[in-house]
Amino acid sequence: MKTSEELKKIVQNKYSEIANQEGSSCCGGESGSPEVYSIMTDDYSQVEGYAAEADLGLGCGLPTQFAKIKKGNTVIDLGSGAGNDCFIARYETGETGKVIGIDFTEAMIRKARLNAEKLGFNNVEFRQGDIENMPVSDAVADVIVSNCVLNLVPNKEKVIQEIYRTLKPGGHFSISDIVLVGELPDALKTDAEMYAGCVAGAIQKDLYMGYINQNGFENVTIQKEKKINIPDAILDRYLNASEKDQFKTGSTGIFSISVFAKKPESAETKSEIPAVEIQSNFCGPVSSKSCC
């Protein structure tokens, strides 16, 4: 069982590798495998504010589509990568707003800053930091978004608590993430391709939603939910015909969900919330193809 710090270092190293390559994806294996590549990702290309050079195919939803961003808002993007969701948020919040991207990986921060400079965006900034301990003050954000990132974090509840701390009273978040319903076959859950799709770090849907409901949020809503269909090319590696049929027709599944929740208007900011160390089954065997 790896410690939280070991897991974070693995993630940091892999995302540095992705940031320094073209055509890499967190959604499955080699760029030459389009069937695997499309397991998790949603199509951003028609979204206003989309910047192709900032889209590394690392997401599993379109959280900005549901985030209800208004002109002049301050928006934080957790796990901002090369900046794609930040630039879309910037389109929504306009020149009078502000967008802060937070990412754990120095190479991603460099890439995002370069993209922002090319686009001429002076109200988008990128900060390197751990989203379990965000480098922002209390109650600064009107809206927080994130796209397929909590999967990669060992202590997911601490991130939820940090979201509460950094939102203004009455502020809200829209987060896309991967969750599980039922137990995946062990071979699938630890495979490099599935790992690359952020599945090995995913937790049960009920537990995920419980963290949000138990930490002070209201109006908790699943805005979008879709089942992730794993290609036969992957299933055939680990399951025989009978096992594969049972898996595909049974209740067990991998889902992409987009969740909305609001911090109460009357909320007092929780400035100091003790960290809870969670033992995670996040990292199984890791290959050069994985996102970790």
| CA 64 centroid distance within chain | 12
Place of tokens 């370069």: 114
pLDDT in tens, 26-43: 443 343 333 433 555 666
3-state secondary structure string across the chain = CCCHHHHHHHHHHHHHHHHCCCCCCCCCCCCCCHHHHCCCCCCCCCCCCCCHHHCCCCCCCCHHHHCCCCCCCEEEEECCCCCHHHHHHHHHHCCCCEEEEEECCHHHHHHHHHHHHHHCCCCEEEEECECCECCCCCCCEEEEEEECCHHHCCCHHHHHHHHHHHEEEEEEEEEEEEEEECCCCHHHHHCHHHHHCCCCCCEEHHHHHHHHHCCCCEEEEEEEEEECCCCHHHHHHHCCHHHHHHHHHCCCEEEEEEEEEECCCCCCCCCCCCCCCCCCCCCCCCCCCCCC
Per-residue pLDDT, 265: 95
Per-residue pLDDT, 15: 58
Per-residue pLDDT, 188: 72
How far is residue 78's CA from residue 102's CA, in Å, rounded to a whole number?
5
Name the pTM for this structure: 0.78
Domain annotation for the chain: domains and CATH numbers: 4-262 (3.40.50.150)
Residue 200 scores a pLDDT above 50: yes
Per-residue pLDDT, 37: 38
Sequence-distant (6+) residues with CB within 8 A of 172 are 67, 68, 142, 143, 144, 219, 260, 261, 262, 263
Per-residue pLDDT, 69: 97
Mean pLDDT of 242-260: 86
Residue 155: C-alpha distances to residues 96, 177, 201, 202 (Å): 34, 15, 10, 11
Per-residue pLDDT, 224: 92
Residue 283 scores a pLDDT above 60: no
Residue 288: C-alpha distances to residues 15, 100, 222, 275 (Å): 11, 30, 34, 31
Strand partners, 174: 145, 260
How far is residue 68's CA from residue 218's CA, in Å, rounded to a whole number?
16
Q: Which two tokens stand for residue 80?
A: 């901002």
Mean pLDDT of 206-218: 96
pLDDT in tens, 142-162: 999 999 888 878 899 999 999
Pick the most confident of 70-74, 265-269, 273-277. Answer: 70-74
Better pLDDT: 251 or 29: 251
Residue 113 scores a pLDDT above 60: yes
For the chain, the average pLDDT equals 78
Which amino acid, 108? M
The proportion of the chain whose per-residue pLDDT surpasses 90, expressed as a percent, equals: 43
